[in-house]
Amino acid sequence: MMFVDEARIAVRAGRGGNGICSFRREMFVPRGGPDGGDGGNGGDIVMTASHRLTTLLDLRYLNHYEAENGRHGGASNCTGRSGEDLTIMVPVGTIVSDDQTKEILVDFVEDGQTAIIAHGGRGGKGNSNFATSVNRVPTKCTPGTPGEERTLQLELKLLADVGLVGFPNAGKSTLIAAISAARPKIADYPFTTLIPNLGIVRLGSDGSFVVADIPGLIEGAHEGKGLGVQFLRHIERTAFLLHLIDVSEWAPDDPLASFETLRRELAAYDGGLTTRPFAVVPTKIDVIGTSERLAQLQTYCRLNGYPCLPISAATNQGLADLITYLGKQVVRVRKTPCETSS
């Protein structure tokens, strides 16, 4: 399925039904009193978050939504039926904003979370509401009010405990496939991963955490180069970051230069990301000829106080230690959550 993380839709809640002007018509009662009923309320536009959805694709192509109008009132003080609400399903992690004012209306962060995006109009009043001791045969009735109508901007930002960041071919997809049930596309060429992938990592019998594999960055990504900011947004709401650095002999750049460039790109996109807890993960340590580059990066991390956990996702070397470490970090940040961008 195509991954879409932005959509623009128009919604209109239902209009309230009109109240009516009516008088009783009964045998032997030549002048019956008013009995005009009220109109029904218009239906609301409701949004509900579901973890079963992972993209805004459906909303990209079906982008106009209208709730049902309320029915008009009837004689004998019959109130018109209210319009049915219209429910729009969105993925967890969706932020809904008013396209005109840019105000954030709701941030869906939990499965099953529900919010009314546009309220239906109120039903009008029938003439029976306006009878008084002075005016026993009122002819006044009121129409229903229109429902709210607005254009909405939807943006999906994935929610995960751990975000994998690195340059193309650093081994992010191989890692998430090795530690979770996620099966991203894996190949030996840059930008194999074109969409974010989520994987659930199990911890013992009842624990787990969510890892997000973000498409590879390149220098200048914060300016839109490569896949650019299109997917950088998806690490904004991860609590812990893993910086994957390829230390194999065929890696195009020096590992220290790769790490420093990666940090600069994150800082240029959002300075808050550089204060996020992180660890450095040298990858592909099973490849012959990596020892010198690995030692160089380990020394650098030790001197700067950065956690460093070398792995080979292909041979599973170091994966058990990495999962244990991440499990402890996730527990810690969940107890004292860091400030994340929305």
Instruction: Report the pLDDT value the prediction gives residue 89, as an integer from 0 to 100.
Output: 95
**pLDDT tens digits for range 73-128:** 999 999 999 999 999 999 888 999 999 999 999 999 899 999 999 999 999 999 99
Report yes or no: 38 and 16 within 8 Å, Cβ to Cβ. no
Strand, coil or helix: 88: strand
Instruction: Report the pLDDT value the prediction gives residue 190, as an integer from 0 to 100.
Output: 38
- The two counts, helices (H) then strands (E), for the chain are 6, 13
> What Rg do the C-alpha atoms of the chain give, in angstroms?
29
pLDDT value at 16 more than 70:
yes
Can you say whether residue 208 is alpha, beta or left, with left for phi > 0 and alpha for psi between -120 and 50 degrees?
beta
63 is written with which tokens? 């982008």
Please state whether beta strands 160-166 and 6-12 pair in parallel, antiparallel, or not at all (unpaired).
unpaired
Q: What is the mean pLDDT of residues 296-303?
A: 96
pLDDT value at 286 more than 80:
yes
**pLDDT tens digits for range 215-249:** 756 454 444 444 445 556 777 778 899 999 999 98
- CA 302 to chain CA centroid, nearest Å: 37
Instruction: Report the pLDDT value the prediction gives residue 99, as an integer from 0 to 100.
Output: 94
Cα→Cα distances 10→35, 57, 253, 304, 342, Å: 38, 15, 47, 51, 23
All structural domains of the chain, each given as residue ranges with its CATH number in brackets, are 6-156 (2.70.210.12), 160-335 (3.40.50.300)
Instruction: Report the pLDDT value the prediction gives residue 336, as an integer from 0 to 100.
Output: 66
pLDDT value at 341 more than 70:
no
pTM score of the predicted model = 0.68
Instruction: Report the pLDDT value the prediction gives residue 182, as an integer from 0 to 100.
Output: 57
The span from the CA of 87 to the CA of 54, in Å, is 17
Instruction: Report the pLDDT value the prediction gives residue 312, as an integer from 0 to 100.
Output: 93
Q: What is the mean pLDDT of residues 206-213?
A: 80
Where in 79-183 does DSSP place strands (E)?
A: 86-91, 94-98, 104-107, 114-118, 149-156, 160-166
**pLDDT tens digits for range 144-197:** 999 999 999 998 887 788 988 888 888 888 898 888 865 544 334 333 344 677
Cα→Cα distances 115→70, 100, 143, 225, Å: 20, 19, 27, 36
